[in-house]
Amino acid sequence: MMGKLKQLPLCAGILVSLLTVSGALDSLAANQTLKDGSTIVSADDGFELGFFSLNSSNDRYLGIWSKRISPRTYMWVSNAGNPINNTYGVLKLSNDGRLLLLSGGDTLIWASGFANSGIFNPVAQILDTGNLVVRDDQENIIWQSNPSYDVCVRSGICGPNGICNNNNSPLCGCLRGFEPTLLEAWRIADWSGGCQKKQSLDCVSDGFRKFSGINLPDTRSSWYNVNMTLDECRATCIRNCSCTAYATRNIQSGCLLWFGDLQDMREIDGGRDLYVKMTTADLAADLSNESKNKKVIIVIVSTSVSFLVVCLILALYAWRKKKRSFTSRKGKPAQTLEEDYTNESQKEPAELPSFSLAKITNSTNNFSINNKLGQDEVNSVLLDWPCRAHIIHGIARGLLYLHHDSRLRIIHRDLKAGNILLDRDMNPKISDFGLARRFRGQEDEANTNKVVGTLGYISPEYAANGHFSIKSDVFSFGVLLLEIVSGKKNRGFSHQDHKDNLLGHAWRLYKAGKSLELLAATLSDSCVDSEVLRTIHIGLLCVQDHVEDRPTMSSVVLMLGNDGPLPPPKQPAFFTEMTHAEHDTIPLMVSPPSIDCVTITLLDGR
């Protein structure tokens, strides 16, 4: 018995070592942790993930840095705006695929994406590109730290004389007149061998081929002269048999000469001109190709002009024929819509059927509300509580993506029921981005003299002062949430006992402990009381009068997804419904929705 007890510390030590990541690994499995002081390193030993401090500060951050660049350069930082003030930080990968940065074991500092119960056996891994990714058991990437990482910045990725372009597939290529040195390796994306000239230089009759849009090669083995002109630079390179390329040192003057292989070239917009030494045979092929290209251009242009002339003639003929037909029909007695449709249908099948107003009126019982599709006798949309809760969660995740997870931060500014589209599975899609504003970096607010939006959904600071931020969308979301729960519109809401709007009515019921009375009558049989009460509570938090009292969408998503305690709400903004005269005092310019709207499909963590 004592022998077995002595083995317990050893087993516990082995278990702890399995659950704690050492510096030699490049990945993190579900429920494994990375503690402050430990790191994980990419397979090629180029990038490292761990905790660090800046200068002499005691604040701790979690980030990724390059091990090959000195001084240390950070590629990504998770908690730049929320540092940890101790060395007890822990990074943990949860079972639902989220990376959780914790302080002291239980205080959440940062989280990636949002919970997804459909994720199994997630793994977090730092790639050779410096990108931290989370994959599911099907190897699908469900989140990544830097999806737009520039792979071409890696030194020597395309080898000698190779050229890199992030927009190409494969990533690396050879300059015209060059070919892969190791063709078989090149085919399996091993570009380290680079490229070589198809024909060797003879240093007698060589010339130069111009390549434009180039980020110039590595200059550590180059020679330069600040006073030479471009012609002098060319003459110097042609006289030196070891010279392989030249370019201007600055945009218009100076000379750069390269000797030997060209390293770290890449194609970029607005790049420089690079002149690479080639054989006479290569340059002669250029002249032949130019001649062929001119002939092809002439043929294409002449064919296009002929086609346009024919199209114009046909269009003119059709227009004149239509004009004669219209003229010949003048003077005929007018027909009813039904008669005209009957006559046309006898000639040829109609693409779309038409009906007279009398038929439509008779078929709908004079447009009775009881015949309106999607509604029952009490004028309530036929969606049960689980479906409405699903819609609320989907809208929240969509706003979280726009505010935090998108490459450019987006404030919608016109979130309302009319701008939420539902697919056949009742998944919500946020649409109509005609009034949206984009922000770069850490920007998340702005001011405007022209307030646009929809009455009933706009926040008080936006309506009064033209100040909008991500918290303006949070306010609109809160209004929309209460509308979905109650089945009533905030704008124009009325109650027999008071003149409060929907927000004020919800607040009255909350103070009286009767929040369940806000729920639409048709939902009582399909709902869970605790879920409804929590949803209404969150809605009231979102419509607070002061910006600082409203939660962010990341907090809203967390509150909707767990049963933790919630802060008490204060009296909401726009407590009572304003009269028409009061509406006139607000400098609001309500703009119509944009015609060219965009629908964003909600995505999981990137």
Catalytic residues: 414
Burial of 325 (0-12, 13-18, 19+ CB in 10 A): exposed
Q: What is the DSSP string of 224-292?
A: EESS--HHHHHHHHHH-TTEEEEE-SSSSS-EEEEES---SEEE-TT-EEEEEEE-HHHHHHHHHHHHH
151 CA to centre of own chain? 19
Radius of gyration over alpha carbons of the chain, in Å? 34
Do the strands 172-174 and 33-35 form a parallel or antiparallel pair, or are they unpaired?
A: unpaired
Q: Residues 42, 75: contact at Cβ < 8 Å?
A: no
Whether the Cβ atoms of residue 55 and residue 72 lie closer than 8 Å to each other: no
DSSP 40: E
Q: Specify the amino acid at residue 520.
A: A
Q: Among residues 121, 255, 197, 604, which one has the least CA distance to residue 405?
A: 604
Pairwise CA distance, residues 186 & 193, whole Å:
8
Q: How many CB atoms lie within 10 A of CB 485?
A: 24
Number of Cβ within a 10 Å radius of residue 136: 17
Q: Using DSSP bridges, classify how beta strands 409-411 and 437-439 pair: parallel, antiparallel or unpaired.
A: antiparallel
